[in-house]
Chain A
Amino acid sequence: MTDDRDKTEIERQRGELRETERRREGRRVTERKGDSVRAAIREELSTETPPTSRRAIQRAEREAETPVIALDHVYLAFASPILEDVSFVARKGETICIVGESGTGKSTTLKLILRLLVPDRGQVNIDGQDITDLTFEEALQVRQRMGMVFQGAALFDSMTVFENVAYPLREHTDLSEDEIEQRVREKLEFVDLEPDKVLEQLPSQLSGGMRKRVGIARGMANNPEIMLYDEPTSGLDPLTTGTITRLIKKLQKELDVTSVVVSHDIRSVFNMASKVAVLHDRRIDFFGTPEEMAGSDDPYIRDFLGGT
C-alpha cells in the first residue's frame, strides 16, 4: 500500500520536474528571435512531443512571438482603486473579449491600451514596448497603429460620414484626395454600407447600427494592426448585433488584426473570442478560451453565464 503510494508520488514529482524542464527549455527557445525560433519549435515539436497538427504548430509559433498587447500587473486608482492586478496577453490575430459587470473597469482597460490613461503600477506593453513612460507625442505615434470603436461610435457630429472616415487619413497620410475617397468607399463597403447613400450624410441622420458601422470604418481606415471595441453591440437589436459581430470576425480573419472587445453580450463573445478575460472585483478572475470558460466551475463565472 505505502509502497504504491510512494511510487505514484515519486512518479508525479518526476513528471512535474520533466514538465518544468520542458517549460524552461521552451522559454530558452522563445528568447531566440525570428525564423530560428520557428525552426527550433518545429524541431522540438517533431522530436520531443508526438507529431502534432499544423494548427498546434501555428499556435506554438504564435506563443513564441512577442505578444502584441500585454498588460502586466496593472494597478490604477483615481479616488478609489479602479483596477488591481490586471494582466493578460493578446497575440497576433487573436480576439480577446473582456467581460464583466458594469463599472468594473472594462472601458478603462481599453483606455490603458490606448494610453489615454497611465497605470499607477504595472506595465502596458505593445509589441514588447512599455508604453507607460512615453511622451505625449510618442503616445500619438503608438495610437496610430490602433483603431478604436467607441460605445456611442463617437463620430464627429460636425462632419459628414465621408469626413469622419477620411479624418485619420487626412491627419496621418499623404494620400491624394482621390486616393482618400477611394479608401473611404472601400472601408464603407467593407462594413456593408453603400458609400453613395451615406457619404454626404451627417452622423445625426444615421441609425444606431449605421453609426456603429461608420465608427468601425473610421477605426480601420488607417489599416491598424490592433482594433479595440468598446461595447460594439450594446443598444442594438439582435439582428444588428449579429451583423456587427460578423464584421468584427471578418476584420480579424481578412486582415489578421489583433482585437480587444469589451462586451456584455455573452452570445457574441462566445461567437468571436479566441480568449475571454473575466473582470470581477477589479481583477482578472479568469483568462482562457471560451470552451474553458464554459467548463469552468467557478461560481462567479457560472453565475455570469446565467447558470447554463
Chain B
Amino acid sequence: MPAFVDRFSEAAKEKVQTVQDYFALAGRAIGFAFARPLYVQDWVQQMDEIGVKSLGIVLLTGFFTGMVLALQSSVQLQAFGISSLVGRLVAGSMIRELGPVLAGLMVAGRVGSGIAAQLGSMRVTEQIDALNTLGTDPIKKLVTPRVLAALVMLPILTIINDFVGIVGGNLIATLLIGIPTGQYWRTVWEQIVSGGFTLRYIPNDFIQGLVKPFVFGGIISISGCYFGLNTTGGTEGVGQATTRTVVLSSILILVVDYFLTQILLSVLAP
C-alpha cells in the first residue's frame, strides 16, 4: 500500500480517537454528577464563575444587538410600509437565533478559554497529577462542576440576553422609528404566539431558544476541559489549548446551531 494511504489512515484513526475521547469525557463528567462525593461547593463556585461573571458581557452584547436589529430592520420594513412589525422581527431573531448563538459565542470566548487556561496550567504544573495522587478523580472534581454549571447557566444567560435585546429594540423603535411601546410589545407577543405552543402553554419559540444554549453550554465546557486536560508542552501548550477551545467551540456552536434548528423546526411545527 502506498505510504500516503498509510499516513492518511493513521491520521484518520487519530481523529476518530480524539472524537471518542471527547465524548468519553462528556459521558464521565455527566455520570459523576450522580456519584458521591458531590463537590457541591465547586458546583456553586463554577456557576458563579461561568454564569454570574458573564452577565456583564451578555447584557452589553444583547442590548446593542437588539438595538441594531431594530435599526436595520426598520429601514427594510419601511420599504414595504410595515415598519410597525419591527417588534416581531427583533423578538423572532433574538429568541430563536441571536440570543442563544451570541450568548454561546461570548461565553465561549470568556469562559471556554478560561477553563482551558486554568486546567491547562494545572496540568503542566502537575496539579492534575497531584489530585490523582491524593485520590481524587480530576474529572469529578474539575470537569463535572464546570459542565454542570455551563449546562445550567447558559440557558439562563440566554433568557437575559433575549430580554435585554428586545428591550434595546424597544428603545430604538420608540425613540427613532416612532412605534409606541405598547404596540411594540404586542408585536413581540404576536411573534411568540405565531410559533405555536407545546402542551398548550409552552411557546415553541422558547423551547427552541432554550434547547440551543443548553447544548452550547455542553460544547463550550467540554471543549475547554478536553483541551485543558490534554495540554502538553508547558506554557506554550496552555496557549494552544486556549486557542483551540475558542476556535472549536465557536465553530461547533454555529454548525450545531444549523442542525438543531432543522430538527427543532420539524419537531415543533406549529
Contacts and interface: CB of A to CB of B under 8 A. Distances in A.
B261 to A, nearest CB: 39
Given A151-B126, A157-B127, A114 B134 contact: no
A172 B125 contact: no
Given A116-B132, A143-B132, A136 B137 contact: yes
B133 interface: yes
Interface in A128-159: 136, 140-141, 143-144, 146, 148, 150-152, 154-157
Contact of B133 (A143, A152, A157): A143
Interface string A29-59: 0000000000000000000000000000000
A167 B126 contact: no
Contacts of B130: 148, 150, 154-156
Q: How large is the interface on B (under 10, 10 to 19, 20 to 34, 35 or more residues)?
A: 10 to 19
Main secondary structure of the interface of B (DSSP, over half): loop
Contacts of B129: 111, 116, 148, 150, 154
Interface string B133-146: 11111000000000
B13 to A, nearest CB: 14
Contacts of B37: 171
Interface in B110-126: 125-126
Nearest to B121: A157
A167 B41 CA distance: 14
A140 B127 contact: no
Interface of A (DSSP majority class): mixed
A77 B62 CA distance: 52
A208 interface: no
Contacts of A157: 125, 127
A143 B125 contact: no
Q: Which of B37, B125, B130: most chain A Cβ within 10 A? A: B130
Contact of A168 (B126, B132, B134): B134
Contact of B127 (A136, A148, A154, A168): A154
Nearest to B133: A148
Nearest to B37: A171
Contact of B136 (A114, A141, A148, A171): A171
A259 B125 CA distance: 23
Contacts of B136: 140, 171
Contacts of A168: 134-135
A183 B183 CA distance: 68
Contacts of A116: 129, 132-133
A272 to B, nearest CB: 22
Interface in A145-185: 146, 148, 150-152, 154-157, 167-168, 171-172
Interface in B135-187: 135-137
Contact of B126 (A140, A150, A171): A150
Interface string A236-255: 00000000000000000000
Contact of B135 (A144, A151, A152): A144
Nearest to A172: B135
B127 A156 contact: yes
A155 B129 CA distance: 11
A61 to B, nearest CB: 31
Contacts of B133: 114, 116, 143, 146, 148
B33 to A, nearest CB: 17
Contact of B125 (A111, A140, A148, A152): A152
A152 B235 CA distance: 14
A168 to B, nearest CB: 5
B161 to A, nearest CB: 29
Interface in A2-36: none
B256 to A, nearest CB: 31
B61 to A, nearest CB: 29
Nearest to B124: A152
A259 to B, nearest CB: 15
A174 to B, nearest CB: 12
A116 B126 CA distance: 12
Nearest to A144: B135
10 A-B pairs with least C-beta separation:
A154-B126, A154-B130, A148-B133, A150-B126, A140-B135, A144-B135, A168-B134, A154-B127, A143-B135, A152-B125
Given A150-B126, A151-B126, 19 more contacts: A111-B129, A114-B132, A114-B133, A116-B129, A116-B133, A136-B137, A140-B135, A144-B135, A148-B129, A148-B130, A150-B129, A150-B130, A152-B126, A154-B125, A156-B130, A157-B127, A171-B37, A172-B135, A218-B134
30 contacts: A111-B129, A114-B132, A114-B133, A116-B129, A136-B137, A140-B135, A140-B136, A140-B137, A141-B135, A143-B133, A143-B134, A148-B129, A148-B130, A148-B133, A150-B129, A151-B126, A152-B125, A154-B126, A154-B129, A155-B127, A155-B130, A156-B127, A156-B130, A157-B127, A168-B134, A168-B135, A171-B134, A171-B135, A171-B136, A218-B134
